[in-house]
Structure formats: structure tokens, C-alpha cells
Structure 1
Amino acid sequence: MPQDQTIGAEFTFVVYSHRWGHDDTYRVRRTADGWEVLHISIGGPCDKRGEPYLSKNFQQDSIRYPGDVGQRMESLWERAHSQGLSREEVQAGLNEIAQAVVATEKKRKP
């Protein structure tokens, strides 16, 4: 089994907010049990799906997001663990998930 090399690594998760009219950059850290969301006042340890704080940030800022975000976060966490994804590969996976959030948010009327 490849070595799990991104535990403790910090990543960015950039989403657009109609409420604020600009991109918001969330910081997330991969932990042994899931993710840690590090964003202003709403953050802390989360499970592999990014719960509860990823969705709490979206709700706080009225950001619409696809229903499968948690599933995609968990799948990325599991692939990083089982396949030993590099920091760049995990960041690319987070970018894909964030872009799905952006696409959903930008479809709505402000």
C-alpha cells in the first residue's frame, strides 16, 4: 500500500459567494480522521465528508452547492489514503470539488 503522505497538509478551497460578490478562500487541512476547516469564525475538525463545518460555512454565506460535495470529499480523502496521492493531486481534487460548488452557486440569481 502506498504511503499516506498528506496527513497534516493544508490546502485551499476557493468558492464564489453571490452574497459577497467575490471568491472566498477556505483553508482545509487533511487529518487522520477527515478534514479540518480553517475559515474565519466557522471551523474545526470534520469527518471525511467535511461535516459539519464545510456545509456550515456554505449555509452562513448562502452558497448553493451540489448534494454530492460530502461524498466527493470523502472519496478524495479515501483515495489520498489508499493511493498515496501527492499534495498536488489532493489540491487538484479539491479544486474540482470547489469548481462544482462554484458552478452551482453561479447558476442561481443573485
Structure 2
Amino acid sequence: MVRLYEVAHSRAGDKGNVTTLSLIPYDPGLYPVLCEVVTPEEVGRHLGERVVGEVVRHRMDGVGALLFVCPRAPGDTVTESLRLDAHGKSMSSALLEMEIPLEP
């Protein structure tokens, strides 16, 4: 098992109560593995209560990256949230803590 931050990096964006999280492997050869094991369901489970509703994943095969669209509660926006850090960048850091199975 490895944490995603060991094999990939992430960027994030916020629009209202929707956060987008990209996942880009350092080694392009790992892209197929990430496509297989980093499912929208697993991302939703991993992010827990920060996500309200279905996480949608978009494959960006041309650039070897995944994009996750994560809905949040109506009042959980950067300007309205009572959370310590409601920015998407904190959610991208949380995503990179996710453990995945990876062959040595």
C-alpha cells in the first residue's frame, strides 16, 4: 500500500459548493493503475463528510490525469463554510493521503 502523494500530485478548484480535484501521476506509466484503483466511490469514501452526493470522475487520457468533481453541502463554500479551511487545496491534500494498493 502507498499513499497517493508518493506517486501523484493534485490540483484543486472551487466553484460555489463544488470542488474539482485533479490527480496526476509523477510517472505516466502509473496512469492506468490510478484509473483502476482510484474510483469515484473510493474517493467519496475517503473524503467522507466533506462530500455530499455522488463524486464524478473524468478521465483525461490525453494528458494522463483524472479529474474528480466533488459536490459539497450548500453552505460549505469557501466564503460561507465554518470549517477551518474550506478551500479545495485542503481537499486535494486529503485526497493525496488516500492509500492504494501498488505492486512494488
Q: Shorter-chain TM-score category?
A: 0.3 to 0.5
TM-score normalised by length of structure 1: 0.36
TM-score normalised by length of structure 2: 0.37
Higher relative contact order (CA 8 A, sep 6+): 2
Larger fraction in helix: 1
